[in-house]
């Protein structure tokens, strides 16, 4: 019998940087037990080029990463989420859709690297910092004993 795969959705307003990085990181660190997804309340329609460049630099897959609306995850046939994390303060303050299955939700806010000022090298520093913070949170998240935790314990730990 195969183990349950937990679906994890990362939300941000534009779905071009933080949520995209988190999706790729979840797929990497989740090792087949967690599947990452991302979406935005007002998607930019394209992934930020520095997100793709950073993922390439660190050797993570970026195939199939797209900027899309969070509405697509409320449609019939969409994967049912077990966890939903907002990674930007603006998306956390918006009225989110009602997610099928009532996933556990939490806010993991961090600064938007796409808003960083300066030249490309200075902007990449902001992308690397967001990546580092997300990677550490995701590593801690996947290390939790999800099958052994009650919903209340899971809600407390992921927050």
Q: Which of 17, 50, 81, 88 is catalytic?
A: 88
Q: Which of 8, 11, 12, 114 is catalytic?
A: 12
Q: Is 4 a catalytic residue?
A: no
Q: Which residues contact 71 (CB under 8 A, 6 or more apart)?
A: 97
What is the b/e burial string over 142-154, where b = at least 16 CB atoms within 10 angstroms of the residue's CB? beeebeeeeeeeb
Q: Which of 96, 106, 116, 149 is catalytic?
A: 96
Closest C-alpha among 73, 58, 74, 71 to residue 24: 58
Q: Is 96 a catalytic residue?
A: yes
Q: Is 146 a catalytic residue?
A: no
Q: Which residues carry out catalysis?
A: 12, 88, 96
């Amino acid at each position: 019998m195969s183990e349950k795969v937990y679906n994890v959705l990362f939300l941000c307003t534009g779905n071009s940087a933080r949520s995209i990085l988190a999706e790729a990181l979840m797929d990497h660190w989740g090792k087949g037990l967690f599947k990452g997804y991302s979406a935005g309340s007002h998607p930019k329609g394209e992934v930020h080029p520095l997100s793709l460049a950073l993922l390439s630099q660190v050797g993570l897959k970026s195939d199939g990463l797209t900027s899309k609306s969070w509405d697509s995850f409320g449609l019939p046939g969409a994967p049912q989420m077990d966890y939903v994390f907002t990674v930007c303060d603006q998306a956390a303050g918006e009225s989110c859709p009602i997610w099928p299955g009532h996933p556990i939700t939490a806010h993991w806010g961090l600064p938007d690297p796409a808003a960083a000022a300066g030249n490309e090298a200075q902007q990449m520093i902001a992308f690397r910092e967001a990546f580092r913070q997300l990677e550490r949170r995701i590593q801690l998240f996947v290390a939790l004993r999800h099958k052994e935790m009650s919903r209340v314990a899971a809600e407390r730990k992921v927050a």
